[in-house]
Amino acid sequence: MEKLLIKGGNSLSGKIKCSGAKNAALPMIASTILCEDKITLKNLPYLQDITTMFELLGSMGSEILLDENMNFTISSSNLSDIEARYELVKTMRASILVLGPLLARYGKARIALPGGCAIGSRPVNYHLDALKLLGAKIKLKNGYIEASAKKLIGNSIRFDGVTVTGTENLMMAATLAEGRTTLLNVAKEPEIIDLAEMLNSMGAKISGAGSEEIIIDGVDRLHETVFSIPADRIEAGTYLVAAAVTNGNVTVEGINPKRLMKVISKLKDTGADVKHDQESISISMNRDHPRPVDITTAPFPEFPTDMQAQFSVINAISKGTSNIYETVFENRFMHILELNRMGCDISVKGNHAIIKGVKSIYGAQVMATDLRASASLILAGLCAKGETVVDRIYHIDRGYERIEEKLNYLGADITRLPS
Ligand code: UD1
């Protein structure tokens, strides 16, 4: 297994460009199933999760072409299979995103039930309950979701809990349903707005994405489009934290700061000087130690759970004590044990981490357990004394495009060690 060797202590400086957002791209790729025509996606990030989604569509019969400008054209005009097999679903839970489109276009779908994962049980009951309200029949059999519907019929649906991929699944399914669907208690993440914009560019009639209520008027068919994936706000946030923990001075380009307002405000609270214009964010940290910041994760527009692990590192080297409450996922403190092996002083009680800032942390051999946990270990390695080796970095390659190249460009010293 490949590893990353990080020589800590370098201060990061310079400009980098954000890649396309993984969490925007995954539902967009799934949405191509809704359409007979070809869809072209630009600015797709080169990530393992994107490859897995293409593998899934390919296994069902989609044709995927890459042109000389690195744009992908996907044709799902005539799928031969409507099954998402366990081998793929177990490596990426977002595979569930093909359920809504398959049901809407083909009237049936067979999707392996995603199991537990490192950050909690992550069930899909909200997706299934909502699809039932559109008229789908759903059975669970031999570890698979078996869904069918002659025709989905619009309905008014209130989700039992806020779910990002659940909102996306229902939005996609309802585009081809008969009549009007109203979705309530929906996720308001920017990626929901991105997907609605893409679907509308294909002829869907969706309004309200990003607000409390999404209204979808079903149409008979969708048509071709060319759509560019917006920048990855979590990648941007991670590089801003990298600057904050190394006393750096970094500008992240290509990112709309409105997507990161809570993160920017917390970075300011740490004592960093953060400035932004419409499509870039600059940070400069000139303090011996950051100020500690309390954080409670919650759905957008609150502080994103996908930035929680990274902020654990800022707090770990801050001057003082801070609290992090994780309210979105039940088991998202896997990075804490590894951070403590590097000299951090963090205790966890349920969903509450109490972080006592320390003067210095030290390099160690550590193991990545999930995507954002891996990011936090790399950030810790950047500000630790000595060498850190991060093992199981396949987690990071799922969601960060060429992370070591980008960080090295800013002055880090990271080497990918072959397996
Ligand atoms: C998405 C993001 C992920 C992010 C998360 C929360 C993608 C591909 N992934 O994941 O990066 O961390 O949103 O912002 O966009 N839940 C249920 N039943 C359900 C669905 C969800 O109980 O049917 C629970 C989950 O276990 C979790 C919470 O609801 O505790 C939120 O999960 P959800 O928003 O669905 O996360 P994902 O869409 O999987």
pLDDT of 359-399, one tens digit each?
Answer: 999 999 999 988 999 999 999 999 999 999 999 998 899 99
Q: How far is the CA of 24 from the centre of ligand 1 (A)?
A: 14
Residue 129 Cα: closest atom of ligand 1:
23
Which residue out of 23, 97, 119, 122 has the highest number of ligand 1 atoms within 8 Å of its CB and is therefore the one to mutate? 122
Within 6 Å (CB) of ligand 1, which residues are found?
23, 26, 93-94, 120, 122-127, 161, 163-166, 187, 305-306, 328-329
Which residue out of 132, 328, 333, 334 has the highest number of ligand 1 atoms within 8 Å of its CB and is therefore the one to mutate? 328
Which residue out of 157, 164, 325 has the highest number of ligand 1 atoms within 8 Å of its CB and is therefore the one to mutate? 164
**pLDDT digit string (tens) for 345-358?**
999 999 999 999 99
- Return the residue whose CA atom lies nearest to atom 11 of ligand 1: 306
**pLDDT digit string (tens) for 114-136?**
865 565 567 899 999 999 999 99
- Return the residue whose CA atom lies nearest to atom 5 of ligand 1: 164
**pLDDT digit string (tens) for 146-191?**
999 999 999 999 999 999 999 999 999 999 999 999 999 999 999 9
68 token code pair: 């000389």
Residue 121 Cα: closest atom of ligand 1:
26
Q: How far is the CA of 331 from the centre of ligand 1 (A)?
A: 13
Residue 18 appears among annotated catalytic residues: no
- Return the residue whose CA atom lies nearest to atom 8 of ligand 1: 23
143 token code pair: 């570890």
- Residue 323 in contact with residue 354, Cβ under 8 Å? yes
- The predicted structure's pLDDT at residue 116: 56
Percent helix, percent strand, percent coil in the chain, to nearest 5: 35, 25, 40
Report the DSSP pairing between strands 63-66 and 213-217.
Answer: unpaired
58: left (phi over 0), alpha (psi -120 to 50) or beta: alpha
- The predicted structure's pLDDT at residue 172: 98
Q: How far is the CA of 164 from the centre of ligand 1 (A)?
A: 6
- The predicted structure's pLDDT at residue 118: 61
Residue 299 Cα: closest atom of ligand 1:
14
Active-site position among 35, 117, 344, 383: 117
Question: Rounded to whole angstroms, how far apart are CA atoms 40 and 38?
Answer: 7
Q: How far is the CA of 126 from the centre of ligand 1 (A)?
A: 10
Residue 166 Cα: closest atom of ligand 1:
35
Q: How far is the CA of 8 from the centre of ligand 1 (A)?
A: 33
Whether pTM exceeds 0.85: yes
Residue 26 Cα: closest atom of ligand 1:
8
- The predicted structure's pLDDT at residue 4: 97
- Return the residue whose CA atom lies nearest to atom 13 of ligand 1: 164
The backbone torsions φ and ψ at residue 84, rounded to the nearest 5 degrees and listed phi first, read -105, 110
Residues whose CB falls within 8 Å of the CB of residue 246, separated by 6 or more in sequence, listed in order: 10, 11, 12, 285, 382, 383, 412
Q: Which residues of the chain have pLDDT under 50?
A: none
Question: Rounded to whole angstroms, how far apart are CA atoms 38 and 232?
Answer: 25
- The predicted structure's pLDDT at residue 283: 98
Q: At what angle do helices 22-31 and 190-201 cross, to 10 degrees?
A: 30
